[in-house]
A and B are shown apart, each in its own frame.
Chain A
Amino acid sequence: MDSLLLILGILVFIAIVFVVIYNGLVTLRARVRNAWAQIDVQLKRRYDLIPNLVETVKGYAKHEREVFENVTKARAAAINASGVEAQAQAENMLSGALKSLFAVAENYPDLKASQNFMMLQEELSGTENKIAYSRQFYNDSVMEYNIRIQKIPYNVIAGMFGFHKEQLFEVKLETEREAPKVRF
């Protein structure tokens, strides 16, 4: 009787540990996917800002047609790019095109002083920071998840239910910085 209870107790304990570990893995995986979706939110925000910016600059600098065309083309390419690698490359192109747009704007003091332009510039650089930060958070989340599913005893349950390693976002971007080595 006693040994039966003991076995039952152990089984219940194992079941609870099992559920806790499984739920923890599900939460971590959901965070990784959510982090990935967050990157797209910021990228889309950036695409939405660009037409406004181009229109504003056009109002002051009509003759810089080439620059506008480059930005518009790069934007379309970035929106249509598929695959992590290709998209990152298109994003870098877009950053370059935007840089030359802002360089052109330097020659037009009225434009530079315009409230609308300053606001757009702040929005755009803020959004670029947010893209970088959302990628950073994605990588942090992936790192945590990947380490977790390789650890004992998580790896057993991860293997049973098909929790696979997720890909890090490793394409280097201009805006990104190296992680400092933090020791406590």
Chain B
Amino acid sequence: MERVNIYDQISGNKRMSYILFIIFFIIAFILSYIISAYFGGGYIGIGAILIFAVIWMLFSYYLGDKAILAINHAKEVRKQEYPHLYNTVEGLSIAAGIPMPKIYVIDDPSPNAFATGRDPRHSSVAVTKGLLDIMNRQELEGVLAHELSHIKNYDIRYMTLVMVMIGLIGILSNILVRMFLHGRGNRRGGGKGGAVIILIGILFAIIAPIIAQMVRFAISRKREYLADASGALLTRYPPGLASALRKISANKIPMTKANPDSAPLYIANPFREGFFDNLFSTHPPAEKRIKALEAM
């Protein structure tokens, strides 16, 4: 039963990554068209923006993981510095039948971990010093098995692409909205401005729900439950991860080194749970995950 689900998950993640590329390119095309019509860039303007879009897509695919590790202040470590961590990751990769990922440590007292990369051959797992400090052997194994499952299931590819590509769309749309609101820029015809604002408005009205859907798929609870379950299959010991999740959710210190845009990548929300988290939570509630693990 579970094998079918994991294979579905892998092909689903690969498919969604392609779709993400296509949607990103279409959005870039429409944006480039509107922008060059507004600023008078002509075909050169459209071409320049499309080339930038393709470069950004390549960057997201090949270097997105490095970017995410950098903005979360993760440092690659060698075996001599963290022999226990290194051995645990190596053992679990043997159990999962994947190449060993690179290991990163974040100098932050709050316990947390995430994985990133584009496929199992090019993957990294990052843990905080806080996690290493408070977890025993079984708990650390549980957390790392969860992260290695994200790697094996190709969750890392899709989630990394979403974080990096949608992150750029967010930044660009902010800049655009601000530019149009302040009426700055090299405007040629006064009458054109109103039409462009309407066009941009329509565009965002169309793409916003699509992007929301892509993000929602990326941070789906099913993905986390599946990684918990396949992690438990790796360690053959569900209570390890359950106890780790309990310790993580009992921790009240928010992370200071984490980047807010990459919060969904972490095994547990790196920031303090606020009022809205019940409505727009990026993570399934820890109690439910613990219950599911205890039922195994």
Contact = CB atoms under 8 A, between A and B. Distances in A.
Contacts of B196: none
A140 interface: yes
Nearest to B293: A180
Contacts of A133: 91-92, 94-95
Interface in B226-251: 226, 229-230, 232-233, 235-238
B83 A119 contact: yes
Interface size bracket, A side: 20 to 34
Nearest to B232: A180
A55 interface: no
Given A136-B236, A177-B236, A123 B94 contact: no
**Chain A interface mostly helix, strand, loop or mixed?**
helix
A184 B229 contact: yes
A31 B94 CA distance: 12
Contacts of B5: 184
Contacts of A42: 94
A126 B229 contact: no
Interface in A118-166: 119, 122-123, 125-127, 129-130, 132-134, 136-137, 140-141, 144
A178 interface: yes
Interface string B85-97: 0011011101111
A126 B237 contact: no
For chain B, give the interface size range.
20 to 34
B215 to A, nearest CB: 23
A141 B97 CA distance: 9
Give the most central of A125, A132, A136, A144: most B CB within 10 Å. A136
A113 interface: no
B84 interface: yes
Contacts, number: 70
Given A122-B83, A183-B1, A134 B296 contact: no
A182 B233 contact: yes
A126 B84 contact: yes
Given A177-B235, A180-B236, 6 more contacts: A126-B88, A126-B90, A130-B87, A136-B236, A177-B237, A180-B237
23 contacts: A38-B94, A42-B94, A119-B83, A123-B83, A123-B87, A126-B90, A127-B87, A129-B87, A129-B88, A130-B87, A133-B91, A133-B94, A134-B94, A134-B95, A136-B95, A137-B94, A140-B97, A144-B3, A177-B235, A177-B236, A180-B232, A181-B296, A182-B2
Interface of B: 1-3, 5, 83-84, 87-88, 90-92, 94-97, 225-226, 229-230, 232-233, 235-238, 296
Interface of A: 31, 35, 38, 42, 119, 122-123, 125-127, 129-130, 132-134, 136-137, 140-141, 144, 176-184
